Amino acid sequence: MRASRSISILISSISVLIIFAVVSAAQDSESRDQVDLRRRIVKEVRLAGVKSFPQSQIRKLLYTKPNHWYNFFNKRELSRSNVNLDEGIIKRFYQRRGYPFVGVRSVIERAPQNRAAVSFIIDEGRKTYLSSIGLEGGLEEINRRFGRTLDNFEIGEPLNAEEVASGGFRLRDLYSNNAYPYAIVRSSSSFNHDSSWVDIKYAVKESIYTVYDETRIIDDTYTRPSVINRELTVKRGRRYSQKEVIETEQRLYSLGLFKLINLRRNDSEAATSGDTCHVGFSLNLRERKSYFLNFGLGLGRQEDFPVVLRSSALWGNRNLFGTGRKAIFAVRPQFQITPKSGLEVFRLSDLGRDVRLTFIRATMEANYITPWMFWWRIPVTARVLYEPYTLNAEPQYRYDRIAGEVIFTREINRFTSTRVTANTEYINVRNIPSEQQETFRREVGDIQIRRRLLLYGERDTRDNILVPQKGAYSFAGVEYVGGILGGDFNYVKTQFMWSRFNRFKGQNLLATRIWLGFLDDRMVEGRSAPLDRFMIGGSNTIRGFRENDLGPKLLIGGELSPAGGRYMMIGNIEIRRPLFWRFGGATFLDAGNTYSRFEDITPLSIRFTTGLGLHFLTPIGPIRFDYAVRLQKEFDLGAGLYHLAILYAF
């Protein structure tokens, strides 16, 4: 009896060990296969079952792409997560075009030379058309606002399942922004016998009218509670709006004091009084360090000084005494590096030899920033600059400069803001009597005093400021210099610029810009310098001309130099599209000119250029290489100019 039991236990143990070994081997094999697949290069991507659309339409949307000869920098390796993502992309592609029952699955096959082939097998299903769409339940006054969304659906067109889902989200947000955050929104689909037609119906249960209750700050913060509370738009007793909840988080982030903000609704503590629901919030905050310190050192080139040693030290406090106000102090000394041996060309190797450092400038700067002015949310920046004993190269003299600036900013909404700037400055030329200062600055020196007021507004709806794909950007500004403010210059300068970005025909992007400007220096003793006027030409304005080389000229020292224009007009049209990897191409047409007098503006005076561009996308924006030629009577491709720049022209 005991022997038979021992044999049974032994056999059972051996069986368990065999099963464990087989399972482990299978898991190891599967793990090796997965590692092996991840390292394989994608040789081919196949689409099976595609009947209703060109395969190229789908292929360009996929993250899984076959490797080509030009992918030597970044070979396209197989990624299972990308394959899964592509299954969803293909499914959504069909669902947006009337195929709600589409099925997609993927198959990965090994290929020789450590490669893999990916196949997407698609069952399109029946195409479905929209026969009707409606809304029932809810409140009439809110439902009327949803009418525009319903009007976007076209009866008789293929069903867009994604648009139907998006409409449900918009309806839910509409109720949530109008005091009904607990409203329940559902959509139902009623298909005919062969699923070729469908009726869509949205249904709303409006729940209960909701107002804000108390917002509790959970964390202990150095920032004063009053500073946090004044940014809250979710005030107790006001009707609920999800937009205001999001706006509160954005306003708190804009202070620059917090690295984490979480405004959470306390649904479990919501209380009902009569026909009204009161719901509060919990606010979690994680603060940034108040103090920061930076140092910098480097070599560079400055006008009139071939080799300059730049240094800087900056100290700041972004949260003075917990009030949300900022103070920043900076010192930036600059020195000219000159070899004592008198070399005409300075090289980095000369730094090891005897050199002489000549003091050029030391900018001492103090900034004070407050996010509120009295009872209004108008950020104010006050800045003071002091530059003593600054060296002017030719003619050589030294001067002291002190300047002050105040900037008032008002954010109208998330896209639009306005700014008012006032600045003044004082300059004292050393060893020049006070009564001769103005004459010296105007006739001998290269320094002048500018005192100005600037009113500036901008609107930015671009989806990306570095690589915009849609939206628009515009600004308008009026600058008043001198006049009753005093100083060496007197003029009024106005500008307007508008640019627009639209996608068309697949991945093509149409970018357009209009830029107009006018400077009036005909006031009493009106006067402006070339740098105050409009200078165009170059990589960011009119390509095909050298920088600032288009427009009126001045004869200085026997050479023509840009004089700047009092009137400016620029128009740009550019078509951009991706090419391969991170490279993209563009073709453009630029037009414009600057003028000293209004009478000089004629159709024949407008200069036109055209050309081609190549850009490479980097994390800090595109690096752009353009070639442009001037459109004139003698069209010569060899007479064009090359431009190398960072970021797009507009």
Amino acid of residue 525: E
DSSP letter assigned to residue 10: H
| Tens-digit pLDDT profile for residues 290-321 | 999 999 998 887 777 778 889 999 999 999 99
Which residues have a Cβ under 8 Å from the Cβ of 169 and sit 6 or more positions away? Answer: none
* DSSP assignment string, 454-520: EEEEEEE--S-SSS--SEEEEEEEEEEESGGG-SS-BEEEEEEEEEEEEEETTTEEEEEEEEEEEEE
Q: In the predicted model, is pLDDT for residue 13 greater than 70?
A: no
* Residue pair 420/466 in contact by the 8 Å Cβ criterion: no
Write down the pLDDT at residue 30. Answer: 44
Interval 201-205 mean pLDDT:
95
Q: In the predicted model, is pLDDT for residue 16 greater than 70?
A: no
Write down the pLDDT at residue 34. Answer: 45
Give percent above pLDDT 70 in the chain. Answer: 90
Write down the pLDDT at residue 12. Answer: 56
Say how far apart CA 613 and CA 586 lie, in whole Å: 5
Q: In the predicted model, is pLDDT for residue 4 greater than 70?
A: no
Write down the pLDDT at residue 70. Answer: 75
Q: In the predicted model, is pLDDT for residue 49 greater than 80?
A: yes
Write down the pLDDT at residue 211. Answer: 96
Expressed in percent and rounded to 5, the helix, strand and coil fractions of the chain are 20, 45, 30
Name the band, by pLDDT with cuts 50, 70 and 90, for residue 448.
confident
| pTM metric for this prediction | 0.78
Write down the pLDDT at residue 17. Answer: 53
| Tens-digit pLDDT profile for residues 138-172 | 999 999 999 989 999 999 999 999 999 999 999 99
Name the band, by pLDDT with cuts 50, 70 and 90, for residue 354.
low
Identify the weakest region by mean pLDDT among 408-422, 428-442, 471-485.
428-442
* Residue pair 529/563 in contact by the 8 Å Cβ criterion: no
**End-to-end CA separation in angstroms for the chain:** 93
SS3 string, 299-316, reads EEEECCEEEEEEEEEEEE
Amino acid of residue 492: V
Q: In the predicted model, is pLDDT for residue 593 greater than 50?
A: yes
Cβ-count burial 263-293 (b if 16+ within 10 Å, e if not): bebeeeebeeeeeebbbbbbbebebeebeee
SS3 string, 626-648, reads EEEEEECCCCCHHHCEEEEEECC
| Tens-digit pLDDT profile for residues 313-353 | 999 999 999 999 999 999 999 998 876 544 445 555 555 55
CATH architecture under which domain 209-222+232-283 falls: Roll (3.10)
HSE-up of 475 (CA within 13 Å, CB side)?
14
Q: In the predicted model, is pLDDT for residue 433 greater than 60?
A: yes
Write down the pLDDT at residue 577. Answer: 93
Backbone angles phi, psi at 568, to 5 degrees: -140, 140
Which residues have a Cβ under 8 Å from the Cβ of 602 and sit 6 or more positions away? Answer: none
Write down the pLDDT at residue 1. Answer: 45
Write down the pLDDT at residue 20. Answer: 52
H or E stretch at 559: strand 559-562
Which residue's structure tokens are 């490279």?
583
User: Peptide bond before 395: cis, by omega within 30 degrees of 0?
Assistant: yes
| Tens-digit pLDDT profile for residues 75-98 | 888 999 999 999 999 999 999 999
Task: Give 129-205's CATH code, choosing from 1.10.260.40, 3.30.70.100, 3.10.20.310, 1.10.3300.10.
Answer: 3.10.20.310
Identify the weakest region by mean pLDDT among 194-198, 416-420, 489-493, 522-526.
522-526
Write down the pLDDT at residue 347. Answer: 59
Write down the pLDDT at residue 349. Answer: 58
Amino acid of residue 237: G
Write down the pLDDT at residue 280. Answer: 96
Interval 486-511 mean pLDDT:
93
When the pLDDT of each residue in the chain is averaged and rounded to a whole number, the result is 88
| Tens-digit pLDDT profile for residues 230-264 | 999 999 999 999 999 999 999 999 999 999 999 99
How many residues are present in the chain?
Answer: 650
Q: In the predicted model, is pLDDT for residue 286 greater than 60?
A: yes
537 to each of 119, 547, 586, 592, 630, how far by Cα in Å? 52, 5, 19, 9, 12
Domain ranges of the chain: 129-205, 209-222+232-283, 289-449, 498-650
**Beta strands per DSSP E along 241-304:** 258-265, 271-273, 276-287, 291-302
Q: In the predicted model, is pLDDT for residue 22 greater than 80?
A: no
Interval 568-595 mean pLDDT:
94
Q: In the predicted model, is pLDDT for residue 107 greater than 50?
A: yes
CATH number listed for the domain at residues 498-650: 2.40.160.50
* DSSP assignment string, 176-211: HTTT-TT-EEEEEEEE-TTSSEEEEEEEEE---EEE
Amino acid of residue 191: F
- Establish whether domains 209-222+232-283 and 498-650 are of one fold: no
| Tens-digit pLDDT profile for residues 537-567 | 999 999 999 999 998 988 776 778 888 999 9
615 to each of 362, 507, 584, 610, how far by Cα in Å? 38, 15, 5, 16
The CB density around residue 488, as the number of other CB atoms within 10 Å, is 18
